[in-house]
Structure 1
Amino acid sequence: MLGWAITFAILAIIAGVLGFVGLAGVAAAIAKVLFVVFLVLLVASFVIRALRGQSVV
């Protein structure tokens, strides 16, 4: 998930540099959504592992 977010962020940067503003905006929005989803799943995973008594690291 994080890999896809980074991929779309890099795509947005490259598209922005090349002048494709619309594509850059869409790619940046997708990257933001994927990053938030990644963070939510990461925190949920930590909480579930902590509640089970397992190490979260």
Structure 2
Amino acid sequence: MAGADDLLPGMQADLLIADTAYDADERIVSMLADRDKAVVIPPKANQKNQAGL
């Protein structure tokens, strides 16, 4: 099974909507930001900074 590290570098969409599990994974957010992709990930309930992405 392919994971985010395999799938996201070739992502053609301009927007990624992801589960809260990806909120803590800065490498995913920064990789997509470097490619001018918008990221919409709700913050985890136990996150101190509830601003989200």
What's the TM-score once normalised by structure 2's chain length? 0.31
Larger % of strand: which? 2
Larger % of helix: which? 1
What's the TM-score once normalised by structure 1's chain length? 0.30
